[in-house]
Amino acid sequence: MPGAIVRVDAATATATTVRVDGDVHSAALRPDGSLVAGLADGTVLLLDADGAVRHRISGLSSADAITVTGDTVVVLDRRQTALVALDGDRKLGLSLRAGDGATTMIGDHFGRSLVADTAGGQLLVYTADPLVLHQRFPVGSAPYALAYDQRSETVWVTLTAGNEVVGYDLSTGIPVEVGRYPTVRQPNSVTVDEATGEMFVGSATGDGLQRIGADQRKRGQ
């Protein structure tokens, strides 16, 4: 949001606001408790836990999503449809093009960066250190939101042109489809509850929040 990062403790329903000088488009927590913030103008801020600026890195057109693997930070620049790794805490490092029009990115517990190439209809899988594209797979009509389910080692991808969510197992080196479900209209967000395995899909057109239980997915597979 403009001027702030809000950290929410889901267990206690408490929120803590960290003030940031800029229009924040993305944020990530580092292992030492510090933060990385991506601003609308492409600036990347490395922040202490209280919001004090450690370093300011420029050179990107936009900073729309961030993943952190150990000490390595990877930023998605939508305007250039590129992934950029930071070279330490001072400057930009290696950059790779991400499909034809990448829009979203998440990290998983293996340290991979998973990217939805909406314009190209692909799921892209990168490692962070060094930054390398390992998998590139066509997934259908306008993939957008991503979520990773550690319980089943499955990445879930929403397809906004067809109003579906599709699950892929990435363990073989080539994504293998393991589930496909109809969703609410314009499914622009998805998340998986790590404790229960339940998946929630959010509509961007006012159709609400859809729950797809872990038991439903098991039967469907």
This prediction's pTM: 0.92
Interval 98-157: pLDDT, tens: 999 999 999 999 999 999 999 999 999 999 889 999 999 999 889 999 999 998 899 999
**Architecture per CATH, 1-129:** 7 Propeller (2.130)
Residue at 44: amino acid letter: V
Q: What is the pLDDT of residue 88?
A: 83
Q: What is the pLDDT of residue 54?
A: 94
- List of E strands, the chain: 2-9, 14-29, 35-39, 44-47, 53-57, 65-69, 72-77, 82-87, 91-97, 102-107, 112-117, 122-127, 132-138, 143-149, 154-159, 164-169, 176-182, 187-192, 199-203, 209-212
Give the DSSP letter of residue 132: E
The CATH code of domain 139-221 reads 2.40.10.500
Domain with CATH 2.130.10.10 in the chain: 1-129
Domain with CATH 2.40.10.500 in the chain: 139-221
Which residues of the chain have a pLDDT value below 50? Answer: 220
Q: What is the pLDDT of residue 1?
A: 83
